[in-house]
Amino acid sequence: MEKQLLHQKFSSAFDENLIKEIEKIGIVRTYQKDDIIIDINQTLKYIPLLLTGNIKILREDADGNELLIYFLEAGETCTMSLTCCLGTSKSKIRAVAEMDSELVMIPVEYMQKWFQTNASWRNFILESYQIRFDEMLEAIDSLAFMKMDERLHKYLLNKTELHESKTINVKHQDIAEDLHTSRVVISRLLKQLENENKIKLSRNKIEVL
């Protein structure tokens, strides 16, 4: 395992003993952009800790349409997968690599054991729940109260923060799927945002101004 990377991303959250245990039992896996890391109805045997990259967490309706819930960044874990593991139920979300990503996978039994025996792990999990809960409330507020053009602009701003770049490489269809709408609607709204001088469009690229 890349010990330096593990220390860099998690030393502020975990004590030294816990990091050493993760180095021993953790399994490092790499994923390419758009790879599915966790799928809906999958039985979860490992908890992911994100070392590098970004992951988007999606829900799916009865017709197979996806809705973006939140993004994971390096140094974070997916609390919805934690909930499934604690309840020994199958995954209710899909986790997809937003860009090339590297994770360390923790066997479920250790996650449960550490919650009882390690204060730094317990605090990390509880804080992760709070962060994700706040983000899901924000997602609900966006769906309920924001118009689609406002949701789209907020989505693009979030993307620039995740990628640490004002220029985003993304297709209109991909945005439509994340926001649970049609490509035609997204293309029209992107043009509207460009006319308002909020973005600049080019082929498969969007510059947020």
Residue 26, pLDDT above cutoff 80: yes
pLDDT in tens, 143-188: 777 788 888 999 999 889 888 899 999 889 989 888 888 888 899 9
Is the separation of the CB atoms in 206 and 200 below 8 Å? yes
Name the pairing type of β-strands 199-202 and 205-208. Answer: antiparallel
**DSSP summary character for residue 77:** B
Q: Given pLDDT bands bounded at 50, 70 and 90, which one contains residue 84?
A: low
User: Model confidence over 39-78: pLDDT tens digits?
Assistant: 988 888 888 999 999 999 988 877 777 888 888 999 999 8
168, 160 Cβ separation under 8 angstroms: yes
Are the beta carbons of 124 and 65 closer than 8 angstroms? no
What whole-number distance in Å separates Cα of residue 99 and Cα of residue 35?
9
According to the model, what pLDDT value does residue 79 have? 81
- Long-range pairs for 150-157: beta carbons < 8 A, 24 or more residues apart: 151/179, 152/179, 152/186, 152/189, 152/190, 152/193, 153/193, 153/198, 153/199, 155/68, 155/179, 156/193, 156/199, 156/206, 156/208, 157/208
- Is 104 within 8 Å of 22 (Cβ atoms)? yes
The class level of CATH for 3-144 reads: mainly beta
Q: What is the maximal distance between C-alpha atoms in the chain?
A: 56
CA 141/CA 146 separation, integer angstroms = 7
Give the CA radius of gyration of the chain.
18
pLDDT more than 90, % of the chain:
42
The pTM of the full predicted model, rounded to 2 decimals, is 0.75
Distance CA 205, CA 11 (A): 36
Instruction: Name the band, by pLDDT with cuts 50, 70 and 90, for residue 87.
Output: low
CATH topology classification for 146-208: Arc Repressor Mutant, subunit A (1.10.10)
**Residue 82 to residue 34: CA distance in whole angstroms:** 22
Domain boundary assignment for the chain: 3-144, 146-208
pLDDT in tens, 89-132: 688 889 999 999 999 999 888 888 898 999 999 999 999 988 88
* 54-60 β-sheet, strand order: 36-38, 94-97, 54-60, 66-73
Nearest to 39 by CA among 114, 94, 79, 120: 94
Would you say 97 and 31 are in contact if contact means Cβ atoms under 8 Å apart?
yes
